[in-house]
Each structure stands twice: as C-alpha cells, then as structure tokens.
Amino acid sequence: MYLEIVTPEATIFKGDVASVSVPGVNGDFEMLNNHAAIVSILKEGHVKITGNITLDDSNKTQFEQKGKAFWFAIDSGAIEMNANTIIILAD
C-alpha cells in the first residue's frame, strides 16, 4: 500500500508501507492492505507507519523510530484511503 504524508511545508513521506495507524476523531484506527475506502478527520496524536521503510536524510528528524515502526506527531489533519493509496494531510 502506498502512503503520502503532506504538511503545509512539504511532502515529508512517500512510499510503500505495510500498515498505518492514525488518531481519528472517533478513536485510533489502523489500515492494512486492501482496506475499505475511508475519509476521516484526525486529532492530535501520532501517525504510526510500519513496513520496509527508508527515510530521506531531509525528513529523518521529523520521525521517531520505535522498533520497526516510525512515529510522526500531528496536531490535526485529514486522511483519505482509496485503492491502496493513503494520503494524510497533517498540521
């Protein structure tokens, strides 16, 4: 599944991932390959991504690595998943 994380400043991540967990306004939820289409608003918390992930030197400082997962803090945002593509617009 393909993930793109976009902030007002830049696109900070683009690549294939195994799973994505996000802080939805109605509770945290996780998306795996072939998840149903979804659009949701995000609240303050952390986006967790797993998989065989390689970060560019330019964005490594924005992520925290815990084991095999990478975490990215957000204040709010929105997410759309459709056809195994996830786009996160994060503040």
Q: How many domains does the chain have?
A: 1
Cα–Cα distance between 42 and 60 in angstroms, integer? 22
Cα–Cα distance between 68 and 81 in angstroms, integer? 23
pTM across the whole model: 0.94
**Domain range enclosing 7:** 2-90
Q: Hey, which residues does 32 pair with through a beta bridge? A: 19
CATH number at residue 62: 2.60.15.10
pLDDT digits (tens, 9 = 90+) for 49-85: 999 998 888 788 899 999 989 999 999 999 999 999 9
pLDDT digits (tens, 9 = 90+) for 21-55: 999 999 999 999 999 999 999 999 999 999 999 88
